[in-house]
Chain A
Amino acid sequence: DAGVIQSPRHEVTEMGQEVTLRCKPISGHDYLFWYRQTMMRGLELLIYFNNNVPIDDSGMPEDRFSAKMPNASFSTLKIQPSEPRDSAVYFCATERGPGTEAFFGQGTRLTVV
């Protein structure tokens, strides 16, 4: 398996633009997580899904952020409109089941100018 695949690896966008980050989970993994990493706040969970259903979105910063998982093979994290304070590395991670190892993608480095 190729692991968790995220795209793009780097994204630079202007303030106010819509940004979409993508994640392809490992096949057979029922849990999918979106994390954000910044120097100030470290790694924070934004949202996670179980069998494509959002379970906990309490970490989503505000209404500008939305995440979807239309099927078991794909998830998106969208920011609209983007702001400079959204600049961070966004990680997607997946797990096969409860209590199992979380596998992380290589992250998307987002820069909003």
Chain B
Amino acid sequence: AQTVTQSQPEMSVQEAETVTLSCTYDTSESNYYLFWYKQPPSRQMILVIRQEAYKQQNATENRFSVNFQKAAKSFSLKISDSQLGDTAMYFCVIRDFGNEKLTFGTGTRLTIIP
């Protein structure tokens, strides 16, 4: 069974600063996908970034980047130049290759302070 652990229930940071959200996971599979989804107050779940486990290069999407450490089973999200619109709940998610089920962490509530 897969598990995802997010040890930071809440974080806050000043606008324009950089923040890193932590995530560790466990899976018995060697091939899998990792995702960060954000859920703003509107409740809509939105994909932020994805990483294939077989790729060594860390994924980047504009201000969002990940630090993927496969041996340590760690997958942190870095948000640079944070903006007020980044205020949301952030979920770390895993999906094994060949299994379409997403397993979610408990989430980190991020607040960007003006």
Q: Is A45 in contact with B42, judged by CB distance below 8 angstroms?
A: no
Nearest chain A CB to B95 CB, angstrom units:
8
Least CB distance from B25 to A in Å reads: 14
Tell me the chain A residues, 50-66 only, with Cβ under 8 Å from chain B.
50, 55-56
- B44 adjacent to chain A (CB < 8 Å): yes
Total A-B residue contacts, Cβ distance less than 8 Å: 42
Chain B residues with Cβ under 8 A from A48's Cβ? 100-101
* 8 Å CB interface, A89-113 against B: 89, 91, 93, 95, 98-99, 101-102, 104, 106-107, 109
Contact with B along A73-94 (1 / 0, CB 8 A): 0000000000000000101010
Residue ID in chain A nearest B106 by CB atoms:
A42
Please indicate the chain B residues that have their CB under 8 angstroms from the CB of A98 in the complex: 98, 100
Determine the chain A residues whose CB is within 8 A of the CB of B97 once the complex forms. Answer: 99
- Interface centre among B43, B100, B101, B104, by most chain A C-beta atoms within 10 angstroms, is B100
Q: Give B residues with C-beta under 8 Å from A.
A: 33, 42-47, 50, 91, 95, 97-98, 100-107
Residues of chain A whose beta carbon lies under 8 Å from any beta carbon of chain B: 31, 33, 35, 42-43, 45, 48, 50, 55-56, 89, 91, 93, 95, 98-99, 101-102, 104, 106-107, 109
